[in-house]
Structures are given as C-alpha cells and as structure tokens.
A and B are shown apart, each in its own frame.
Chain A
Amino acid sequence: MKLNKINTSVGYVVAGLIVSVAFLGLFASNSAMAREPYDKAELADMQKQLLEAVNQGYELWHGSKDSMSTNGLACGNCHPDAAATNPQTFPKFQADLGKVAPMRDMINWCITVVQGGQALDAESPEMVAMEAYAFNMHRGQKIDPGLQTRQTPPDVVKGGRGYPWKGSGVGYDKGSKEYPVPGPNQK
C-alpha cells in the first residue's frame, strides 16, 4: 500500500517532468531563437528562380520545344491555364498508365500519345518546369490525391469586362497586372 503510494508519487513527478519537457519543447519550437535561414536577397533569388522555372514551363506548355509534338498540338491546346490537369490530385491511379503515377508520367503520356512527341526526361529541368507551371496555376488548391475520373476546376483567373483584369503573372501575362488595352466599355 505504502509502496504503491510512493510509486504513485514518483509517477506524478515523472509525468510532470514529461509534460514540462514537452511544453518547453513546444515553446522552443515556437520561439524566435533560431536564426532566419535566408536573408531577403537570398529569398528573392530563390523566388526568381522559381518564377523562371514556371515561365519556362509556360513556354514548353505552349509549344516551345519541337520534339514534344509531331502533330502541332501543344499542352495548351486542351489545357489553357493548365486547366483540368489537377496537379493537386497526383499521385493517383491512371487508367491510361495502369498504375499509380506521379503527374510527370501523365505529362509524358500526353506528350507521346496525344501529341505524338518525344517524352521529356522525367528528371530534367524541363519536366520540373512543366510541373512548376501546372502547380503554380493551381496554387491554393487543397492537396487531394484522387482518381483519374475526378475533376477539380482550375484556379479562377478572371479578366475582361465586368471583372478586374488580373493576369496570371505567367507567360504573356508576365509582369502585367492589368489588361493592357482597355476597351471603351471596360470598367
């Protein structure tokens, strides 16, 4: 009985210590004690490189590399703004490939089967750029691995009369925040 009491007391102490350590750990992880890993210039450079990849992806998406197509078709023919590519749903089972596949496999499927072109090296900077573009156009979508039959809408990029004309910041929209030649009826 006494022993049990002692054990219980020790137990309380141990439990208290564990909670304290865990609390300190939490506190530490939320503290600003660690040095910011990158300065502003470094971050700006990283962002620039990412945008370069996105823009290279846009160019490839719209037919800048001849070997990707033998029939004149580019990814942008069927997927304007990378619509209906659903990058946030990969990896998923692709019936066309017969397996669970990452997005790059589906990109190469479209290049070789639909466009009759030569597949990109899956590890190449070009494939990374293609994915960077498609993912960038779906920024904010919930990560939601799914099935091939499911379709999620692309990001809404509104423009034209009745809407604020906001560019996507990519490709032709590079650097443009507004529609360049407002018509007489445009607000």
Chain B
Amino acid sequence: MTDLDKMSRRDFFTISGKAGLATLMASAMGTNLGMVQVAEAAVGKSKVSPFRFAIITDSHLYDIDNHKFDAQLADAVDKVMKMNPLPDFVVYTGDIAQSGTDSQLKKGIKILSKLTMPLKVIPGEHDWYLDMGAAWRGHFGSPTWSFDHKGVHFIGMNSILVRDFWTKAGMSAEERMSTLMMLESPIAGPWGVREEQLDWLKKDVKKLSSDTPIVVFTHSPLWDYYPRWNFQTEDAPEIRGILKKFERVMAFHGHVHQTIYNKIGNMSSIGTISTSWPWPYPDVKLAYPWSQMLRSDPANFTDGEGAQHIDLEHGFKGVMQYDPFGDMLTPTMKNGFKI
C-alpha cells in the first residue's frame, strides 16, 4: 500500500462520514482498493511511470440553494470523470467555500464525492478565515501533507496564512472573513506558509535525492505575480530555497482563476482555472505571455472556467492541459504544453 492509498482512504472516510454520505463511502473505498497495485513507494526520476492527475479549484460556493456555482463545480467533476484515461487522483487547490461556512464546505464535499478517484485538498483563504480553519480541518485533516505516487513526491501546503490583523482591530469572525474575501484589500497582508510549514518542508524533503521529481500544491502562486491582489506568497523564496537541490520542481496553484505559467530556477509554476469565475489579467509583463487565456465573454457564465489535468511521463516530463468549459485557449495551450 502506498502513501496515497492510505491517505485517500482516510480522506474518504472523513469526507463521507462528515458529509453523511455513507453509501458513497463504500464505492469510494472500493475504487481506492483497486489502486493498491499500481503505485510504487520508491521515488526518483528514473522511477516515474506515466500517469495522469487532475486539478479542480476555486468553486467559491455560496449558501444559496441551486446556485450557478454548484452546477459549475459539478460540471468540472463530470469533466474529470469523462477523462480518458482517468486521472489517478484529483487535487483541489483551495476555496471550496466563498465565506468559509461549514455548509458551504459540506456542499462542495457532496459534489466532489462523485469523483471515484482519491481526492487531496488544500485550503484557500475563503475556506479558512471564518473559524481559522476549524471546519476545514474537521473535514480534511491537516492542510500540510505529502505522498509518493509512481516515482513522484507530491507536497501540499497551506499558503494563505497571514499575520493577525483582526485582534487589534477588534474584528468579528465575519468581519475578518469579509476582509479577506476582497482581492484588492491590503489589510490582510501577504500570504505565506510560515515557519512551522517551512520546517516541515525541510524535514519532508531532507532524505530525498536530488533527482526526485517534486510536485507542490499551494493556493497562492510561489512567486510575486501581482502583490496588489495577493497573487503572491511571501515566503515563496524560502520555499524555492528549500527545494533548490532538486533537478526539477513543478508547482501548481489556485487563487488566480486564470491560465498562467512562469519558471524561476528549477521551479515551473502553473496557475489553474477555477470553476466559479475568471479574473482579468493584471497589468504585469509576463515572461511567458502565451499562457494568457482569451478574454472571457461576460454573457457566457461558464466562459473562462473549467478543470485541468497533467500527464507525467518517464523522466518526469510533464504536459499541462487546461480543460475549459468553453473555447478560451490560445493555440500554444490548446493541445497542452510542456511544463
């Protein structure tokens, strides 16, 4: 049994139990049991056997029945379930909820439970700041994790930790949450994974050889894309420093609701499209301008949104493929691009 299998089962137990979906639990477990044979715990560039994983992110669910975002998340789940081949697992890179309520998280879990493959989740700020992650942890456990799958070492971290701006200001939990819900609010200050997770990361990768393929998931990008909208992670340079010894690192992030690609040193950084709404591109000169999707049509509510999948090949070669609901990819991205 691999790390992934262990964690997948635990996650599905937790998810199913909390969401009261006992019947789904049985089918999910059955699927997971089928995965026991396919993975090897050993990691290393030469040990990578080809596989696919998918990312769904930023559904921003509201406490409103039959909200259009519910259907859009369900559409993304359907998209993943129709992939051929199916992904080995799915990662959700944050912001299931819009304002952090338990009911929003539960609604998301119910929709995501239609995925038959294991699901790994990290939080976004919208999941976290109503109760400082209490409900989120209750459903998903630790936001900091790693596992090995088919020769690749996968890492997930909570990158949306900010300094305490609410106590001194005498803010209520709701005020704290609503402050963080605004993208252009500088009150909260920059995101970060902070010391505890940096220490964890150091230990996590300590014994891994430099040819180990590394894939990192965070909600916010691990580079200063556009600090004004908190498209950044303050301690990203430290993270990149810890991972510097590896030949190659692939970092995937949510938060930006758009296609975006960057490369710093050994780390390629790839943004993801949301299931809720697209964000416009800030006025930033990009090193890889071809990674901008076409401007969304506001009359088409699902334009600029969707899911995505990544195919990893022998030698840790990767191909990123956005799977939008509509036609929004430039020719360079249309049939996937090397990461």
Residue B196 lies at the interface, judged by CB distance under 8 Å to chain A? no
Interface size of B in residues (CB-CB distance below 8 Å)? 38
Chain B: which residue is nearest A137 at the CB level? Answer: B184
Q: Which residues of A contact B282 (CB under 8 A)?
A: 83, 153-154, 156
Question: Which residues of A have CB within 8 Å of B62?
Answer: 71-72
Given A78-B278, A80-B279; A172-B182 close (CB under 8 Å): yes
**A161 and B227 form a contact (CB under 8 A):** yes
Q: Given the known A-B contacts A154-B282, A168-B184, are A160 and B228 also in contact in the complex, defined by CB atoms under 8 Å?
A: yes
Residues of A within 8 A of B186 (CB): 159, 165, 167, 172-173, 176, 179-180
Give Cα A180–Cα B281 distance, bound, in whole angstroms.
26
Contact B183 A84 (CB under 8 A): no
Contacts of B192 in A (CB 8 A): 183
Q: How many chain A residues touch B (Cβ–Cβ < 8 Å)? A: 43
Are A158 and B189 neighbours in the complex by a CB distance under 8 Å? no
Q: Is the interface of B mostly helix, strand, loop or mixed?
A: loop
| CB nearest neighbor in A for B278 | A78
Given that A149-B295, A181-B165 are contacting pairs, would A71 and B184 also be in contact in the complex, using a CB cutoff of 8 Å?
no
Q: Does B280 contact A (CB under 8 A)?
A: yes
Q: Which residues of B are found within 8 Å of A180, using beta-carbon distances? A: 165, 186-187, 189
Contact of A114 with B301 in the complex, beta carbons under 8 Å: yes
A78 and B187 CA atoms in complex are apart in Å by 20
CB nearest to B185 among chain A residues: A172
Across-interface contacts of A163 in B (CB, < 8 A): 227
Check: B148 CB closer than 8 A to any chain A CB. Answer: no
User: Quick one: which of A67-106 are within 8 Å of B by CB?
Assistant: 71-73, 76-81, 83-84, 95-96
Report yes or no: B228 in contact with A158, Cβ–Cβ below 8 A. yes
Question: Does B229 interact with chain A (Cβ within 8 Å)?
Answer: yes
Interface 0/1 of B94-122, CB less than 8 Å to A? 00001000000000000000000000000
B228 lies within 8 A of A71 (CB): no
Contact check, A72 vs B227: say whether CB atoms are below 8 A apart: no
In the bound complex, residues from chain A placing their C-beta under 8 Å from that of B189 are: 179-181, 183
Report if A153-B279 is in contact (Cβ < 8 Å); known contacts: A165-B186, A183-B234: no
Give me the interface of B with A, judged by CB distance under 8 Å.
62, 64, 67-68, 98, 163, 165, 179, 182-187, 189-190, 192, 224, 227-230, 232, 234-235, 237, 277-284, 295, 298-299, 301
